[in-house]
Amino acid sequence: MSLRLYDTATRSVRDFVPIEPGHASIYVCGATVQGPPHVGHVRSGVVFDVLARWLTANGSCVTLCRNVTDIDDKILGKAIEEERPWWAVATAYEHAFADAYDVLGCRRPTVEPRATGHIPQIVALIERLIEAEHAYAAGGDVYYSVRSFARYGQLSGQRVDEMRGSELDPAAPKRDPRDFALWKSAKPGEPAWDTPWGPGRPGWHIECSAMATTYLGSEFDIHGGGLDLVFPHHENEIAQSQGAGDGFARYWLHNAWVTTAGEKMSKSLGNSLLVDEVVRRVRPVELRWYLASAHYRSTLEFSDESLAESAAGYRRLESFVQRAAEVVGAERTTPAGVPEAFAAAMDDDLNVPAGVAVAHECVTAGNQALSSSDDAAVAIRAQEVRSMLEVLGVDPLSAPWIDVHTGAAEREAIAALVAGVLELRAAARVNKDFATADSIRDSLAAAGIVVEDTPRGPRWTLEHN
């Protein structure tokens, strides 16, 4: 494997050498399920789905663990706001995130653990940290001693003396304001689990350390997440896990934000950015393309205009694939390997924009082959384009995108009706009754059926709104 990835920890592009040849282990920080997902939330899911697909395409067996944080201060606050139990809030929004990942064509992770299902592992890890003198109990809480870990701050490039301590609870019994909570003592009305330090619940950071090592072992290949998690979350995960003696992640990958007006996307920006709202304005495959086709380390400035422009580019690729399948048969367009230039782009830190350029070059060649009726060349180009789009999770002739708007039976019925109407249009054109021919075409367009005249005869497609 010649894959090279940008490692946040070393601030360099490194050769990816997995611990176990032929196998890649990946942990991705998933959602804190406190509300419905917006476009910024799901970019990470799409990015690491593409990484997993590329590793799989190169013959690796991938174990992908993406957690669910289902107990957290924000979830408890949301439960009070919505006047329902915390677990009902967490469950409802966990389902909303699952639906968003599904609608965007993200493959399900190998395992998707919930924090509340791993309290014994969390407690055991905290006990190891106390024994190693990296943590201490105080007043029913347990804190990590930041100064006890000499490498603290290396991931984010910060110096401990220049860090500000938490101001959320100045009365917390910490030895140092920079120390962070591993375990929080129970407050009235909050959920709690019994531990050697009294009843309480886990802190956010310790959850991921415990779940990652439970499923991927004490050392694994890649830890991923959004750029906003570098500090303090991922910094604290390293301190916890390595402080307990685990090697933890060998590579750290972070995707950049989706922004609006230069600001990181957040729930305060309104419902128009929620995934289930955006996919009413564009097709889900087009939203996925928008998120996947940019470089994962580049900030995406979201707007309906940029989304529409991206969707138009995808439709050019999609149109060629569909037309090629009609001409040479879908079976002759089955993905059969990507071009070398695309592979080189993907191996270069997942340089998807360069890979997309290769796909468009293949489409240009494919359209020329269609015009010259070179079916063999059409089939080859279509195989290449579908192979590239499959890696990016947007092959229009593969699940979940094929016949996503109409079932096979409905499409066959529409095809029969359209064929009859197009015969009437062809007869009108032969008789030079162009007014009638144009009227038929306009009527079909009004019904969402777009007719394109080609050297091989008229071709129709369903317009997607």
Residue 44, C-beta contacts closer than 8 angstroms, at least 6 positions apart: 28, 29, 224, 225, 226, 255
Rounded Cα–Cα distance for residues 293 and 358 (Å): 12
Q: How far is CA 136 from the centre of its chain?
A: 37
- What are the Cα distances from residue 169, in Å, to 139, 178, 234? 14, 12, 21
Q: Which domains does the chain have, with CATH numbers?
A: 4-255 (3.40.50.620), 271-391 (no CATH), 408-462 (no CATH)
Characterise 396 by phi-psi region: left (phi > 0), alpha (psi -120 to 50), beta (else): alpha
pLDDT of residue 311: 96
Going residue by residue through the chain (465 aa), what tens digit of pLDDT does each one get?
699 999 999 999 999 999 999 999 999 999 999 999 999 999 999 999 999 999 999 999 999 999 999 999 999 999 999 999 999 999 999 999 999 999 999 999 999 999 999 999 999 999 999 999 999 999 899 999 999 999 999 999 999 988 876 544 566 789 999 999 999 999 999 999 999 999 999 999 999 999 999 999 999 999 999 999 999 999 999 999 999 999 999 999 999 999 887 777 666 555 568 999 999 999 999 999 999 999 999 999 999 999 999 999 999 999 999 999 999 999 999 999 999 999 999 999 999 999 999 999 999 999 999 999 999 999 999 999 999 999 999 999 999 998 544 444 555 567 677 778 787 888 888 888 888 878 888 888 877 788 777 666 776 766 654
Question: If we measure between CA atoms, which residue out of 43, 49, 65 comes closest to residue 112?
Answer: 65
0.95 surpassed by pTM? no
- For the record, the structure tokens of 20 come out as 């176990």
Q: Is the dihedral of CA 419, 420, 421, 422 positive or negative?
A: positive
Per-residue model confidence (pLDDT) at position 368: 97
Q: Tokens for 356, please give them.
A: 């997309």
pLDDT value at position 406?
45
Distances from the Cα of 418 to the Cα of 373, 415, 460, angstroms: 24, 5, 8
pLDDT in the model for residue 165: 62
What is the phi-psi region of residue 261: left when phi exceeds 0, alpha when psi lies from -120 to 50, beta otherwise? Answer: left
Q: Give the pLDDT score at 405.
A: 45
Peptide bond into 400 cis (omega under 30): yes
Cβ within 8 Å of residue 110, ≥6 positions away? 62, 63, 64, 65, 215
Angle of CA points 15, 66, 31, to nearest 5°: 120
Residue 14 DSSP symbol: E
pLDDT value, residue 455: 66
Contact present, 288 and 104 (Cβ < 8 Å): yes
Cβ-Cβ contacts under 8 Å for 148 (sequence gap 6 or more): 133, 134, 243
Q: Note whether 419 and 457 are within 8 A (CB).
A: no
How much is the pLDDT for 1? 65
* Both tokens assigned to 96: 């909303």
